[in-house]
Chain A
Amino acid sequence: MKLKTLSLIVALVLTFGESGPQAFAAGKEIKLLNVSYDPTRELYEEINAAFAKQWKEKTGDTVVISQSHGGSGKQGRAIIDGLDADVVTLALAYDTDQLYKKGGLISKNWQLRLPDNSAPYTSTIIFVVRKGNPKNIKDWDDLVKPGVAIITPNPKTSGGARWNYLAAWAFGLKKFKGDEMQTQEFLKQIYKNVIVLDTGARGSTTTFVERGIGDVFLSWENEAFLAEKEIGKGTIEIIMPSLSILAEPPVAVVDQAAKKHGTAKVAKAYLEFLYSEAGQDIIGKNFYRPRSEAAAQKYAGQFAKTELVTIADFGGWDAAQKKHFSDGGIFDEIYLT
C-alpha cells in the first residue's frame, strides 16, 4: 500500500515534469505570458492564435502564449509580487505605471514606445439594461433615481470601474457646470444605488447577465457586446449615455522579465501585431474600437457615437488616481460615508 502510494507520486511527478524537458528539446518553442484584465479573454485568445501562426511562418519558431486574467489593479499587484509576465495588457495606464513605480520592472517612458499612447484599441463605458428598458434608463441622471439597482465593479480593484466612475464624474461636472461639491453628491447618490460591487468587470457581467441581479450595469462597451452575443441575446439592451469616456487600455513589454527570459524581440512583435491590419480586424470583431482607418470603418456600424472625454481632461492618471481612488480619496468619501 505504501509502495503503491509512493510509485503513484513518482509517476505524477514524472508526468508533470515531462512538459519541461520536452519543451526544451523542441528548442524553438518560445513561451510568453500575457497578464491582462478581465474582459480581454476572448480577444487575446484570437490574437494569440493569429500571432503564433504569423510568427511560425516568419521565423519557424513556435510561440506559446499563456494568459492570466483578473481585475486590472489586482493583476498589476500580482506582477509586482512576482507574477512573471512578459507582456502586460491592463485596463489603464495607471496600473502599468505601478510596475515602474513600485517594482522598477518597466522603463519610465513605456507609454511612448508604441503609437497612440500604447493603446492599440479603445473602448468606452455604456449602460446595459434589461430588455425593453423597464426602468427607462437613458443617461447618468437616471441612475440616481430611487429604486434603480446598479451593478458596477469596485474602482479600487477594477480598471473598468475607474473608467465608469470618471465618466460619471465628467457627466456630473458638465451637468452642474463645474461644481465639484454637487458632482460629488451626484456620485454619492449613484453609488448608493449600487447593490453589488464585484472586484472585476467579468464578475459584474455574470452578476448582471447570468444571475439577473440589478436594473442597470455600467460596463465596458466591448464587454457588453460580448455578453449580449454569448448569453444575453434578446434579454438585455445596450444604452449609450449622452457623455462617456474614451478608455485607452495600454499594452507594454515588461522589460525585466522579457530580458530575463530572452523574449524581448517576440514580445515586442506580439504587441506590434495588435497594430497590424490583421490585429486591428480581430480587435474590431471582438467589439473593441480599432485605431486603424480601415478597421474603424469596417466596424463603424456597431459603435454608437457620443461625446467622449479623455483621461487628459482629468489631468492624467496620476492626478485622477490621487484625487479620486487613493485611500481617503473622493471615492472613499463617497462610498464609505
Chain B
Amino acid sequence: MQYKSQMVAKPYFIGALVLFVAQILFGLIMGLQYVVGDFLFPHIPFNVARMVHTNALIVWLLMGFMGAAYYMVPEESECELYSPKLALIMFWIFLAAAGLTVVGYLAVPYATLAKITGNDLLPTMGREFLEQPTITKIGIVVVALAFLFNLSMTFLKGRKTSITTVMLLGLWGLAIMFLFSFVNPDNLVRDKFYWWWVVHLWVEGVWELILGAILAFVLIKITGVDREVIEKWLYVIITLSLITGLIGTGHHYFWIGTPEYWQWLGSVFSALEPVPFFAMTLFAFNMVNRRRREHPNRAATLWALGTGVMSFLGAGVWGFLHTLSPVNYYTHGTQITAAHGHMAFYGAYVMVVLTIISYAMPLMRGRAANSNASQVLEMWGFWLMTISMVFITLFLTGAGILQVWLQRVSTTPMGFMATQDQVALFYWLREGTGLVFMIGLAVYLFSFFKDGKSAA
C-alpha cells in the first residue's frame, strides 16, 4: 500500500462482507420457503426476505465498488485521496441508511413503510430491486455524489491512467443511471421501459466497466505484465460490452408492450453479449500465463481467474441460454431467469469484489499476502462457494426446464402452483447446496482471522 488514504477502503470492504452474510442468510430463508411455504410466516413473508436478499446484494456490491475505487484511485493517481474524512463519513451514512432500510423492511409491513416515508409524495417504491423508500434512494444519490466528487478531485490532481478513467466512467454512469429509479410513470409499459435503464444498464452496461477496471488493476499488480498491454485489453473488453449491451437492453423489451422490432434487435445484440465476457476469460488467463513475477498472494490470483471463468459462464453462457426471443417466449419469468441471475451476479460482481478484497486486504493489514495457512482456507472458501453456485444454477435450470415444460409447452398446461409442486425436488437440492455455500462463506470469513502474519 503506497498511500495512507487508501486505508479508507477497509471499512467499505468489511461492511460489504457483513452485508454478504445477511444476503446469504435471507437467501436460505427464501430457499426453504420455496418448499416449506409457511416457514417463518407471518414474521418474515417471502417478499420481505427477498427484498433483504436482493437489496443487501446490491448495497454490498456498491460498497465493494466504492472500497475498490478508494483503494485504486490514489495508487493509480499517485497522490493521496482528496478527502479521506469525507470518505469515512459517507461510509457511516451509507451503512446507517442500509441498516435502517433493512430494519424498516423487517419491522413493519411494507405498506406502512411506504406511508411513513411519504412514498405518495414521490412514488418510487414497490418495483423489483428498487424497493427502497424514496428517502433511502435520495440518501444513495447523496452518498454517490460525495463519493464521486472525492474521487474525481483525486483523479484531476494526479496521474490519469486508463484504469482510473474507465473506473470513473463506470461509477459516474452508475450514479447517473440510478437517477432513473425516480422515474415511475403510471403507464406500466413506460415504467418497465425506464426501469431497465437502471437495472440492465447497470449490470450489463456500466458495471462491466467497473468490473473490467478492477480486474485490470489487480492483474497489473499480481502479474507484473506491462500496463500498456493490460490497458489495451481493458479498452477492447469494455468496447465489446457497450456495443453489445446497450442495444442488448432490447432482450428485456420482448413482452412488456414495446414494439416487436425489439425481438430482433434484442436477440441479435444480446446474443453477442457473451463475447466481452469470453474476452475477459482470455484476458485473465493470458495475463497470468505471461506473468513476470510470482506474487505471493495466490488466493487473489485464483479469484481473478475465477472471475474470468464464472462471469463468462453465468453472464455469458446462461444469459445466452434464454436470450433469443423464440426461446425467451417460453422461459421469461421462470426459474431459468433465476438460475442465470444467481450465477451471473456471483461470477461477475461478487467474485470481482472478492478479488480486490483478496488483493488489498492483506496490504492494508501490513503484509504483501497472508500466510499460507490463511490462503489455503481462503481458497477452500473459493471452491466451496463457487462449486455450490454452479450446482445452485444447475438445479434452478433443471427446475426451470421442468416448469417451462409443464406450465407452458405441454398441450394440457398445469397451473403455476401445481407446477411448483412438481419441481420441489430441485428446490430441495438447491437449498442443500445453498447450505454448502454458507459453509464456504464461513470458511472464507474465517480465513481473515487465521494467523495471517506468519511467513507472508
Answer yes or no: are A and B bound together in one complex.
no
Interface residues, chain B, CB within 8 Å of chain A? none
Residues of A within 8 A of B (CB): none
